Amino acid sequence: MINIKPKNKIINILGVNIDNYSKLELRELLGSFLSGNKQNLIVTPNPEIILKAGHDEELFYIINNSKLRIPDGSGLWFANIALGGFLHRTTGVWLTREILKLAQKKYRVVIFNWVDGLNNSKSLKTELEKKYPNIKYLIFDIKRERCKIDWDKVKKFKPNIAFCTLGAPYQEKFLFHNLRNMPSIKIAAAVGGTFDFLTGRVKRAPKIMRILFIEWIWRVIKQSRGKKIWRLKRIYRAAVIFPLKFCKWRFILPFKYRPSVSCLLYKKENNHYKIFIVERADDPGHWQLPQGGLDRLSLKQAGLKELREETNNNKFSFKNQYPDLHKYKFPIDSPKHRGAIYMKRTGYKGQKQGLIIVEFIGEDKDIKINYWDHLAWKWADPADIMGIIHKHRQKAMRKYLEKFRQLDGK
């Protein structure tokens, strides 16, 4: 048995955690997953998926909270070289084959196959019975959205392994939200188009091209005429946009402050004011105002967008805005501290914040926070809020309360 040490096995690229295991170590882990009692979500981030995670906070959360995040794509290998390390690159094809080999012994497999992909249940059935004759399997051809699954049939089958081929971010979200419907699952793997290679619908590049990291040339050549532009756009994102974004994140942003906005949302009840605060999902007990980056928007636009996204409603009345009120460095007490994690995610050394003040004109039942952002929310009395807000937020909060009190003579 291999003694796998977690130290130095996780690298971080654009805020996304990647597990850096050799194939020998991965085989050990897969076996332990199947013999254990826990459900294990496995994702295979590549440069394109990491770029998507930068704009999709739910995908970002799911990847970073998965049990195993296997790097797929030469771009990640080069990025880690720039970070001063070595990355074991593992393809989704290899992962899928290894899991199927294990399944052939005694485990049941369910495949959620994208109905608009290159394979269907019939072609998958033919390939599985040909290469893995002892596997017990169940296949569903499903759509990316509003898919209907007979979960009673799944539970009766009692699968131990689940594959999903919907592509990112659909497959990661599908498995994450539906693990509760499959209590017998030990491994749930988001594998994209790997079955297209296993069934021969897509031919892999010659080994020499894979070794030289130029497999993308082969994929362009082999792509049908109608999809060449689509393939080239994907390659452009992975081979041009990702390296540029990585270099900026690694070498430029650590010297800058991130432009951001804090949102003071309040309501008035019986001539009494209360302020909306949220508890961070990544740091229980850490209460603060909603906040986010400007992302090239104006202070007002970014703030209202943040409130819409974090409360899932738009029942607001904008009152005022105050640019450049507060600037701070991310507080770092340890490498695992929230500040260190947030620095990795954004690349910046800190934030410079403006403030918007907005009145809530809806009802409390309209507020629905996102699980990946916050654990809870509540209304706080302005007189009590300094005793509730996290210590790292108090200096800024004093400035924001001053502006709030100046508004209409509050």
CATH class for the domain made up of 256-409: alpha beta
Residue 373 phi/psi, 5° resolution? -100, -50
Token couple for 150? 């007979």
Work out the pLDDT band at 6, boundaries 50, 70, 90. Answer: very low
Band of residue 339 on the pLDDT scale cut at 50, 70, 90: low
More confident residue, 299 or 104: 299
pLDDT of residue 140: 96
Between residues 244 and 82, which one has the greater pLDDT?
A: 244
Interhelix angle 57-64/170-178, nearest 10 degrees: 60
Band of residue 39 on the pLDDT scale cut at 50, 70, 90 = very high
| Cα dihedral 338→341→345→346 (10° resolution) | 60
Q: Domains of the chain: which residue ranges?
A: 10-247, 256-409
pLDDT range class, residue 226, cuts 50, 70, 90: low
Looking at per-residue confidence, does 365 or 8 come out higher? 365
**Alpha-helical segments (H) within 132-236:** 151-157, 170-178, 194-198, 207-211, 215-222, 228-236
Instruction: Tell me the C-alpha to C-alpha distance, in Å, between residue 207 and each of 199, 210, 267.
Output: 18, 5, 63
Average pLDDT, integer, range 217-244 = 73
Backbone angles phi, psi at 244, to 5 degrees: -65, -45
3-state secondary structure 61-115: HHHHCCCEECCCCHHHHHHHHHCCCCCCCCCHHHHHHHHHHHHHHHCEEEEEEEC
pTM of structure: 0.88
Residues in the chain: 410
Model confidence band, residue 210 (pLDDT cutoffs 50, 70, 90) = low
Q: What is the band of 58 on the pLDDT scale with cuts at 50, 70, 90?
A: very high
Hey, how many other C-beta atoms are within 10 angstroms of the C-beta on 189?
25
Peptide bond into 169 cis (omega under 30): yes
pLDDT tens per residue, range 177-201: 999 999 999 999 999 989 988 887 6
Taking CB atoms within 8 Å and a gap of at least 24, the contacts of 330-335 are: 331/392
CB 19 within 8 A of CB 9: yes
Contact 76, 47 (CB under 8 A): yes
Which residues neighbour 313 within 8 Å (Cβ) at sequence distance 6 or greater? Answer: 362, 366, 367, 368
How many angstroms from the chain centroid is the CA of residue 3?
A: 29
236 pLDDT band, cuts 50/70/90, is confident
What per-residue confidence (pLDDT) applies to 197?
A: 83
